[in-house]
A and B are shown apart, each in its own frame.
Chain A
Amino acid sequence: MNQEMITIYIMGKPYEVPKGLTIMKAMEYTGYQFIRGCGCRGGFCGACGTVYRTPGDYRIKVGLACQTVVESEMYLTQIPFYPANKARYNIEKLKPSLNILIRHYPELSRCLSCKTCDKVCPQNLRVMDTMAAAMRGDIAKAADLSFDCIMCGLCASRCPAEIVQYNVSLLTRRLYGRYIAPPSIHLARRLEEVKEGKYDAELEELMNKDLDGLKSLYATRDIEP
């Protein structure tokens, strides 16, 4: 193999790995078989939050191990789990109000607007603005801003006010979806039709069609442009 090798430090221990690998693949290259800290491997599940430093820089950087390419002399560790506060609630008994957010996550009001959460979000979300919207009771805004959150937990791990931004955001999205989003009339109508058995006969007929009959129906069905 003719690859350029670089040194990285996994939890303080040096390893030689090929340049260009993601942190996840580099760790596997050194012989790690992940149990924790590895999930979808595609940037969606939040299992592989990683913090690291590079030489000559005091700052802690963050990324998802599956999406971040290794750098020479990088010091890294994964944060596969964070003991974050998660409120338990019955969504059916809630109202989409500031009151509800504060009742379940009172620490929300401790936000210092320091933007540390913004700096560590691997999705580059406006986390602080999301919390600000939540504190105003603007649930729609908070739900919208946080929509692409993958709940990796890095924000909560760095928050000096000990807010669990991703769980607050999840609550705002569920409140929005359940109570604020306008109901879908066509969906309700279809549900009614299904209940009344409107489609039972035609489905029965399709199920009993012979193969050629079904194939010709399929081939000649009209397609919505």
Chain B
Amino acid sequence: MSYTPEMLESMKLVENTRKDRMKERFPSLSMDERQNLLKSFHPDFREDTLRLLKVGPSKGMKVPHEVADILEAKSRIKPGDVNLDTPDYEVDVLIIGGGGAGAAAALTAQESGASVLLVTKLRMGDANTMMAQGGIQAATKDNDSPSSHYLDVMGGGGFSNKTELARTLVIEAPSIITWLETLGCMFDKDSEGNLMTIHGGGTSRKRMHFARDYTGAEIMRTLRDEVINRGINVVEFAAAVELIMDNNGQCSGAVLFNLERNTYEVVKAKTTILTTGGFGRLHVGGFPTSNHYGATADGLVLAYRAGAKLIFLEATQFHPTGAAYPEQIVGLLVTEKVRGVGAQLVNSLGEQFIYALETRDVVSSAVIRECYDRNKGITTLSGIKGVWLDSPIIDMIKGPGTVINELPAMYRMYERFGIDMSKDPILIYPTLHYQNGGVEINSWGETVIPNLFAAGEVSGGVHGRNRLMGNSLLDVLVFGKRAGKKAAEKMKDVTLGKPNLEHVVAFEEELKKEGLLSEKVSPMLLPNYSASIRQGGGQE
């Protein structure tokens, strides 16, 4: 795979300006300039991408069409399909989802003395956590403080975050790094033990801790190993399709669908924690996505039918640097760390057009503007536009070998397609990356439904309308652990009544009343790409 003649021509312009750009710090935008840029170009502000929910506890809330479609669909099951009175599993704490939040919750709940069952749709560890390579934020350095971290989190979120959640996130951050180190996670550090840290978009201090550019993978494989070592019961390829309620309005477990046997199984649990992740694979707004195959927002659907409130679901995070070329990797993430170590964003003429480490929403908007308003993007063979991420400048700033040593995963991803990103710049365009909102929780991960908890991307409020890099790995661990601890504590006082699926029936009634009842069922469980690839869409 190589670059087209048009690309090569533009790359010359990029090379020509590189020396001068090394000394150039593109000015940061003022608060007003940021707001204007977002309002004009961010997909969240395009009216045609959103619609009002007509049913359920957050009726009247604006959400993306693709999210409304699954929230306003009927259940996969009818009450008669399963016998709730003869559960296949009976546990204290049920955890639905095998990513970072689920693993953290499982370890903590078990430590607190609860019997734990973790069920997951794919394999244990199949989650966006595994792919979050850029880093994890924590104010561990002397020139930093949880208060500085808090201010960055709030500013990044447009000051819309739930303050108690933001506070919890930053104050617990240092202890999360310690916890991971105790489990044997290998963070990059110098010979004296000082943790290496860099900036991320929107940070005022260098507080991004990393494990090369495999940070999420390093965390996930360590936690998964620990879950196995501690003998926690994990059931894979078992997707939760409904929550079970009891006659006192408490959550009392879930119905699972065994993806390999096509059968239903019933879990009775005193407390339940949703750690199902986000909605990337819904391809909101038709965007490609950086997300894991399983990111189909199943937990949102389950919680919504059972009566949970949703917040900030109108705010979708587009990661500014998704791969735009070559075709095979369109939508895959080019980690923010590439900009963290010095790469600049450059248009077809070789000019910088935005400070590379503005917050993600702002940078994404600037890239969209550059391509579609100013027409200074580069068009690929398949008609996608993109701008350059000037990666060769990294070795010039930080010394030869930096790209290969500090960004081995990125280097490898491009090398597979014959591109050496330490020598040539790469083409990028925003990719659907993160569900900023979700199920509303308090600082212990509790939802409004008794005995139901949520943690990680399925929940909302921690990051307000826009999450900063490195705060998601932190979020899943902080709130996963807290939910696990609280769920294990709470189960001691729980007495469950008669289990039922009446909420599912009631929701269907509501759909019928609004004229929305169709054959459409949710949760989606698995994306189906055969059709879109046949139409040449590819959706990645």
Contact = CB atoms under 8 A, between A and B. Distances in A.
Contacts of B333: 42
A177 B186 contact: yes
A1 B184 contact: no
Contacts of B191: 182
B16 interface: no
Contact of A47 (B123, B167, B170): B123
A148 B533 contact: no
A145 interface: no
Interface stretch (A28-36, A49-57, A71-79, A126-134): A28-36
Most chain B CB within a 10 A radius of its CB, from A29, A42, A194, A206:
A42
A194 B171 contact: yes
B470 to A, nearest CB: 15
A88 B231 CA distance: 9
Nearest to A218: B155
A222 to B, nearest CB: 7
A68 to B, nearest CB: 8
Interface stretch (A5-13, A112-120, A154-162, A183-191): A183-191
A25, A69, A90 pick with most chain B CB within 10 angstroms: A25
B221 interface: yes
A215 interface: yes
A129 to B, nearest CB: 16
Interface string A106-150: 000000000000000001100000000000000000010001101
A224 B225 CA distance: 37
Contact of B540 (A33, A41, A219): A41
Interface centre among B141, B159, B214, B328 (most CB of A within 10 A): B328
A199 B171 contact: yes
Is chain A's interface secondary structure helix, strand, loop, or mixed overall?
loop
B344 interface: no
A150 B152 CA distance: 33
Interface in A200-225: 202-203, 206-207, 211, 214-215, 217-219, 221-224
A62 interface: no
Contact of B147 (A33, A148, A203): A203
A221 B130 contact: no
Contact of A88 (B139, B211, B229, B530): B229
B293 A40 contact: yes
A41 B142 contact: no
What interface size band does chain B fall in? Answer: 35 or more
B88 interface: no
Sorting the interface of chain A by its residue count into under 10, 10 to 19, 20 to 34 or 35 or more gives 35 or more
A91 B183 contact: yes
Contacts of A173: 184, 186, 218, 222
Interface stretch (B78-86, B303-311, B408-416): B408-416
Contacts of A148: 212, 214, 408-409, 412
A58 B509 CA distance: 61
Contact of B131 (A30, A45, A143): A45
B115 interface: no
Contacts of B327: 20
A40 B159 contact: no
Contacts of A124: 412
Contact of B194 (A34, A150, A184): A184
Interface in B121-168: 122-123, 125-126, 128, 130-131, 133, 139-143, 145-148, 150-152, 154-155, 159, 163-164, 167
Contact of A91 (B148, B214, B226): B226
Nearest to B155: A218
Contacts of A43: 332, 409, 412-413, 416
Contacts of A170: 221, 225
A151 interface: yes
A89 interface: yes
Interface of A: 1, 3, 20-22, 25, 28-36, 38-45, 47, 67-69, 86, 88-91, 123-124, 143, 147-148, 150-151, 170, 173-178, 181-191, 194, 199, 202-203, 206-207, 211, 214-215, 217-219, 221-224
Please name the 6 residue pairs, one residue from A and one from B, whose CB atoms are nearest each other, closest first. Answer: A174-B184, A182-B193, A177-B184, A178-B184, A218-B155, A177-B186
